[in-house]
Amino acid sequence: MEATAEAPRKTPEIRREGHSITVRKDDIPWLETPEYKVALVTMRHGSVEFLFGSAIQSKPLLDAARQLDGHRSEICNNLLYSHLPAYAEGFHPRISTVTNVRTRQPIFEIGNKGGQRVFFMRFGRIEGRPVIVKVAVCDKARENKVLSQITVGSKKYIKQSARL
């Protein structure tokens, strides 16, 4: 019996066009500097186009991201590639809103049964395209540390919500 190779997931087309946004401590309270410039790339998946960048800042969030091995990091990227195009158009059933966040704007979460988590925010639109910024990424083992940075929940609340 011959093994069949799994078809690779189609990743979005990515273009660098020189777009960026500046986020401030008012937007992301755990920034270690008053502002942070986020370089954006244009992602296109089918007919959907959006701008995407990363603003993983603060030592605990960077540590959580660095703990992901190459395979788990790739899984997190695939979660983004597979979920964000539908979300950029308005909704994706597997994307949830994080409660009790420290930010004025909502933080959204994509997760899988394997324990990988990606947290992101929306920052309006540029040239009609939604701007989506990743603010944290982790595995299940470090989710409590990430939630303690991005939410105002008690340790008990964080422990319970990380179990979900």
Helices (H) and strands (E) in the chain, counts: 4, 7
pLDDT value, residue 150: 95
Q: What is the pLDDT of residues 79-123, one digit of tens each?
A: 888 888 788 777 788 899 999 999 999 999 999 988 999 999 999
Q: What is the pLDDT of residues 6-55, one digit of tens each?
A: 444 455 677 888 899 999 999 999 999 999 999 999 988 778 889 999 99
Tell me the pTM. 0.86
Residue 163, pLDDT > 60, answer no
Q: What are the angstrom distances between the C-alpha of 110 and each of 1, 11, 21, 95, 149?
A: 37, 17, 23, 5, 17
